[in-house]
Amino acid sequence: MVTDNLNETSYNNHDHHTRHPRLRLGVFGFGCVGQGLYHVLHETQGVKAEIKKICVKTKNKQRPLAEDLFTFNKEEILNNPDIDVVVELIDDAAAAFEIVKAALQNGKSVVTANKKMLAEHLEEIYQLQKKYNKAVLYEGAVCGSIPILRNLEEYYDNDLLNSIEGIFNGSTNFILTKVFEEKKNYLDALKQAQDLGFAESDPSLDVKGFDPKYKLVIAMAHTFGVFVTPEEVINIGIDKISDLDLKFARENNYTIKLIARAFKEGGKVFGFVAPQFIEATNPLASVRNEFNAVQVQGAFAEKQLFIGKGAGSYPTGSAVLSDISALSYDYAYEYKKRHQLSGLVYSNDLLVEAFVSFDADHAIKIQDFEQFESGYSALGKQYMAGLVKLEKLKEWSQTPGVGIILAPNAKFVSASKQTEKLQLA
């Protein structure tokens, strides 16, 4: 039951007496995650759920299961009174949202792993859950097998979290690992990530940082209670990392990771995705291949780090299975931080410490930095480092020939603070 009021007694997440005898599932999609779910569901005795129908798009395709389990007609699931839960695992975000809406309207709960769809429609999905009194669970959408959302909702059930950050995309972490450790070339490593089923069907969503941004948008709702659209959040990818960047990293004993982060400061929430030089002593440096990592920091609990496989058929299938199991005892997200932290405002008004590389013909100037730290040129490229406005980094990230990597242990200064400092000086 989705409640808007924490005091309502109807909320019964922990009342195991209400566990349903056997959930009947209608699954949409039988790709990497759908097949993973099928496998893990059949390996467990503990979860009492059964797949009644699987709706797929492509006809005349050899599938490993009995033909009568499949349908091409979505109504056979959405209008089927013998199905309790819709498990949405398709690729197309717009079609997925229609399925979620129809399922809720028809009194069915939903499990989905579609991060793009969720990030684009999270506030609506929150409202629809309240309207129809049915749950939408989506642990598999954020960092694969890492159980972060339920932890944010239940364990970190207070307003004391200051930040959440980490490696939110398996494909790019796999690529960066192969490039750094095996000196593989970028395109070969990407091809391998695709072959292993880690990458999105449009892999630019991974390498340009959209996929981890969608996950960050979802995580921000459960960390800080803010609903932000993906368009508002700045994402800088790994697609413009150059050989010179790799050389610089190796010489300084750094690696490079694509980091998603969000933090609160002075009533504001900041969030963005960007590659960053990471020192060898940072625990994120040893998170390799398709593993993801999420580090949360609380005011008093300090830091905790969650590590686990962030992509792949079985790890993501396991997260989906866990949500199905949670539905069997009527679990629903309460979006607790919305009630605890009302008043936080999302902002991009931030200065970020970054290394910017560019060809000689780009007119990036020292004056573009709010605080310039250093600069040099090598192998026909120029480097400048210092504090830059996040919006400026966004502009440069969209300029061909300009590369951006955040400094190791980068400083972040909220722009209003910077103004205060300048006034004091």
| Per CB under 6 A, 169 contacts ligand HSE | yes
Provide the minimum distance between the beta carbon of 198 and ligand HSE in the complex, in angstroms, as a whole number: 5
At its nearest, how many Å lie between ligand HSE and the CB of residue 277? 21
80-88, 163-171, 251-259, 281-289 -> range binding ligand HSE (CB under 6 A): 163-171
Q: How far is the CB of 79 from ligand HSE (least distance, A)?
A: 30
The residue (of 140 and 225) whose beta carbon lies closer to ligand HSE is 140
The tokens describing 51, both together, are 């797949």
Contact characters 208-227, ligand HSE, x per CB under 6 A: ---x----------------
**Residues from 128 through 147 that contact ligand HSE (CB under 6 A):** 144
Regarding 29 and contact with ligand HSE (CB under 6 A), the answer is no
Q: Which of 74, 116, 213, 215 is catalytic?
A: 215
> Binding to ligand HSE by residue 198, rule CB under 6 A?
yes
Q: Which is nearer to ligand HSE, 204 or 377 (CB)?
A: 204
Give the footprint of ligand HSE on residues 286-325 (CB under 6 A). Answer: 310-311
Return the residue of 153, 200, 239, 330 that touches ligand HSE, per CB under 6 A.
Answer: 200
Q: Closest approach of Cβ 169 to ligand HSE, in Å?
A: 4
Footprint on residues 59-78 left by ligand HSE (CB under 6 A): none
Neighbours of 169 (CB within 10 A): 35
385 near ligand HSE, rule: CB under 6 A: no
170 binds ligand HSE (CB under 6 A): yes
Stretch of 9-17, 73-81, 166-174, 338-346 lying at the interface with ligand HSE (CB under 6 A)? 166-174
What is the number of alpha carbons within 13 Å of residue 18 lying toward its C-beta? Answer: 13
Q: In angstroms, what is the minimal distance from the CB of 156 to ligand HSE?
A: 22
Query: Catalytic annotation on 309?
Result: no
Paired strand residues for 385? 355, 374
144 versus 225: smaller Cβ distance to ligand HSE: 144
Q: How far apart are CA 7 and CA 177, in angstroms?
A: 47
- Site size toward ligand HSE, by CB under 6 A: 11
Active site residues: 215
Question: Which residues in this chain contact ligand HSE in the complex, by CB under 6 A?
Answer: 144, 169-171, 198-200, 206, 211, 310-311
